[in-house]
Amino acid sequence: MNLNQKFKTIDDFKKSLQTHTLHVSVIGIGRIGLPTALSFADSGLHTTGIDINTNLVKMINSGDFPLKDEPGYDVIFNKVNNKQFFATADIKAALEQTDIVLLSLPTPMDNANVPDYTALKSVAKQLHDLMKEGTLVIVESTVEPSFVETDLIPIIEGTDKKFVVDKNFLIGVCPETANPGEILKDFKKLPRLVGATSEMTTSIIMDLYHHVFPVDLLKMPDCKSANAVKLTTNVFRDVNIAFINELSLLFEKLGIDTFKVLEAAKTKYNFQIHYPGAGVGGPCLPVNSYQMLNIAKKYTNDFKIVRISRQVNEYMPDHVMDLIEDGFTNAQKSLQGSTIVVLGISYKPNVKDVQLSPAEKIIEKLTYRKAIVKVYDPYYKSEKVFGLTVDDDLSTAVTQADAMVLVTAHDEFRDIELSFLVSKMKKTPVIVDSRGVMDDHAAKKAGAIFRGLGRVIS
């Protein structure tokens, strides 16, 4: 085997790890990749972050931490930046010095809801052209089972067989499991999955991650099994949220408060609580379900539960519109020409990220109905998002508004004083809460028409 001397044996690797002579490069330094790179640097390993976004690279190297909504990583960033950690857009120069490559690249969907692995495949081609012999490649990106084996490895090897897996390069996976907004906490407590193409590679990756992260590592038999676990956990959530969303649609008609049902149901030992909402967004859950559907198509078209769950969750913005329209009908107002304030545009609470956010669809539908749409989100003040400039003050945003629609349950919205906001709105305003955080009695007492997703309509 023609491997890097540092990987010849497990003992060689451990020695390199202990003496901090390994050079790590993380390709893709976004939401997960940057905290990952900073964690490796904080463990004493010289780490380079590689990204095609030159503005991001300049921002990082100038000392400006880009993830302001990730508590704790600003401290690590200030500790290691321009010391153990550097960012660059020059992948060629970085790979010349690299022993270990971590891939933390996005895996979005195309317009047909098919997973788009363009970024990973492009980088794999660059690895074939630029990486040195003996490099260890670790895939942290979430991919469908067998993608590493059937797609990624052949690209790195190349038709010329410049590289051959387990002979002159190593490859394995350690899928990221962190929750945006809580990455530092999750990196310190959530177990990680490790799979590779050989026992030796698996052992090396486990030693590496034990060095960086104080968590349990679960050894999987291969790459596809580890990736299957990652998809299973996220698709499980998507399916269960869809179930609760369907319950909410039914319970509204029955005059049952879904949130009271859930609070009682969670007292049973084997019930895992999920909550209804305006939709499921972000770079993970919707994409992961479509990744599962994509791989299933190659073996069977009969994968109903995931497909139907996606349909349910993608319908929820339409139901929010139904609630808005019902509220306006009750208030004897027309949507056309009315001012409606959308509260929260991030796909999840307390995070600055609008990827696949249901707020976008709701805003589009309101605009189509010729409503005047205003937006307030504490993470996007004065920024332009979805074609609208976000207001920088909540009370100003709702002044003389006909309605407000809560889409994202940021902590700030849990503490708002409804009577004060209603007093600034037009007479008989409509309030729609799609996340179950507002007090319907307080809203009605203040003189508003209240509609809540999964709540009793009265």
Reference 340, options 355, 325, 330, 352; nearest CA is 325
Final residue in a domain of this structure, among 194, 221, 248: 221
Percent of the chain with pLDDT over 90: 95
pTM: 0.93
Give the pLDDT of residue 2.
67
Domain check: are 214 and 226 in the same one? Answer: no
Reported as a single tens digit per residue, the pLDDT across 41-78 is 999 999 999 999 999 999 999 999 999 999 999 999 99
Reference 291, options 153, 194, 148; nearest CA is 148
DSSP string, 96-155: HT-SEEEE-----B-TTS-B--HHHHHHHHHHHHHPPTT-EEEE-S---TTHIIIIIHHH
Reference 87, options 17, 33, 142; nearest CA is 33
How far is Cα 179 from Cα 284, in angstroms, rounded to an integer? 10
Final residue in a domain of this structure, among 189, 221, 253: 221
Domain check: are 190 and 294 in the same one? Answer: no
Q: In what order do the strands lie in the sheet with 100-103?
A: 85-88, 46-50, 23-27, 100-103, 136-139, 170-173, 192-196, 217-219
DSSP string, 255-300: T--HHHHHHHHTTSTT-------S---SSSHHHHHHHHHHHHHTT-
Give the pLDDT of residue 298.
87
37: domain CATH number is 3.40.50.720
Domain check: are 208 and 331 in the same one? Answer: no
Residue 443 has what DSSP assignment? Answer: H
Domain check: are 250 and 143 in the same one? Answer: no
Residue 9 has pLDDT above 90, yes or no: no
Give the pLDDT of residue 1.
61
How far is Cα 385 from Cα 360, in angstroms, rounded to an integer? 9
Domain check: are 252 and 192 in the same one? Answer: no
Number of domains, the chain = 2
Give the pLDDT of residue 6.
78
Reported as a single tens digit per residue, the pLDDT across 318-342 is 999 999 999 999 999 999 999 999 9
Residue 5 has pLDDT above 80, yes or no: no
Q: In what order do the strands lie in the sheet with 449-452?
A: 372-376, 339-343, 403-406, 430-433, 449-452
Domain check: are 212 and 244 in the same one? Answer: no
Domain check: are 420 and 303 in the same one? Answer: yes
Domain check: are 211 and 245 in the same one? Answer: no
Please tell me whether residue 196 adopts helix, strand or coil conformation.
strand
Give the pLDDT of residue 329.
97
Q: Say which range, 7-16, 164-173, 399-408, has the weakest mean pLDDT.
A: 7-16
Reference 27, options 155, 133, 152, 126; nearest CA is 126
Reported as a single tens digit per residue, the pLDDT across 176-216 is 999 999 999 999 999 999 999 999 999 999 999 999 999 99
Reported as a single tens digit per residue, the pLDDT across 401-415 is 999 999 999 999 998
* Host domain of residue 126: 5-221
Reported as a single tens digit per residue, the pLDDT across 215-229 is 999 999 999 999 999
Spell 15-28 as b/e; 16+ CB within 10 A means b.
Answer: ebbeeeebbbbbbb
Final residue in a domain of this structure, among 197, 221, 245: 221
How far is Cα 405 from Cα 397, in angstroms, rounded to an integer? 12
CA-CA-CA-CA torsion sign (194, 301, 109, 67): negative
Domain check: are 254 and 343 in the same one? Answer: yes
Domain check: are 257 and 217 in the same one? Answer: no
Average pLDDT taken over every residue of the chain: 96
Domain check: are 230 and 217 in the same one? Answer: no
Residue 368 has pLDDT above 80, yes or no: yes
Give the pLDDT of residue 372.
98
Domain check: are 186 and 285 in the same one? Answer: no
Q: Show the tokens assigned to 56.
A: 């991001």
